[in-house]
Homo-oligomer: A and B are copies of this chain.
Amino acid sequence: MKNLLVEKNSGPNIIVKVRDIAIGDKEPVFISGPCSVESYDKMMAIGKELKNIGIHILRGGAFKPRTSPYDFQGLHMEGIKILHEVGKSYNLPIVTEIMDARDIEKCIPYIDMIQVGSRNMYNYTLLKELGKSSLPILLKRGISATVSEWLYAAEYIMSSGNSQVVLCERGIRTFETYTRNTLDLNSVAVIKENYRLPIIVDPSHGTGKRELVESMSLASIACGAHGLMIESHICPDNAVSDARQTVNMDTLKSIVNKSKVLNDIL
């Protein structure tokens, strides 16, 4: 690895702007919302709560990569438009996953940041296309990707012309079955020490259990993460997907408040 764009010697640390929200600066950024966009009404109700809590960016899945082809695959463009409406109503930028390079262009008018999901981190076709996009990219770590492979995935985007990349640690696959994934916070310290890109943490996928999300959120901020992405819902038990790891609004509020206090003393 020599003279990569991701490396510190290629320039100053990168701060990614999602509309007026800066990721990679001093204040931690909070991204939240349900795993899947379920309906306009629920999304509006959730958006309102998130805004009150101080969430900066709204997330929600419209194109859902599911292990089984028979599981709910998302609302697609209808979901994208719902996100857009809610974002407009509450002045919240939108981040959502795109899985198909052919969907990029038609989604761009509605969203503010594009997420590459774990399953698509090695999808170099998609990465190269995103490199030509003008939107910032949230690049989740592959389910079993090494830090080096993850950085090269960012490099694919950056070398195609888009340096607005935020890394997102979301846990890796190990032998441990107690938690859904093993949240690898070492990676946060590694990125902060050696690379230019901002890094945030997704403790929802990183643990798979809602009762562990607050602890791991604080751990993430303590080791230097630039933000958190947390699955939340007004009624977590009824969430269409990932219910087990989705927190309610009270827990989310507590996480946001404690994270800010913690960040201030670091």
Contact = CB atoms under 8 A, between A and B. Distances in A.
Interface string A176-202: 111100111111111011000000000
Contacts of A144: 143-144, 173, 175
- Count of chain copies: 4
Nearest to A117: B122
A172 B186 CA distance: 12
A179 B189 CA distance: 11
Nearest to A179: B186
A52 interface: no
A237 interface: no
Contact of A216 (B175, B185, B218): B185
Interface residues of A, number: 65
Q: Which of A122, A159, A184, A212 has the most CB of B within 10 A?
A: A122
B124 A65 contact: yes
A250 interface: no
Secondary structure at the A interface, as helix, strand, loop or mixed, is helix
Contact of A102 (B102, B124, B258): B102
A257 to B, nearest CB: 11
B174 A177 contact: no
Interface string A97-128: 00111100000000000000001101111001
A89 to B, nearest CB: 30
Given A69-B128, A120-B123, A146-B175, 16 more contacts: A67-B148, A68-B152, A68-B155, A69-B124, A100-B101, A100-B125, A143-B144, A144-B175, A172-B174, A174-B184, A179-B190, A188-B219, A189-B207, A219-B223, A222-B262, A258-B266
Q: Considering the complex of A and B, which 8 residue pairs feature the smallest CB-CB distances, nearest first?
A: A144-B144, A119-B122, A222-B222, A219-B223, A189-B215, A219-B219, A100-B125, A218-B222
Interface of A: 65-70, 99-102, 119-120, 122-125, 128, 143-144, 146-149, 152, 155-156, 159-160, 172-179, 182-190, 192-193, 206-207, 211-212, 215-216, 218-224, 258, 261-262, 265-266
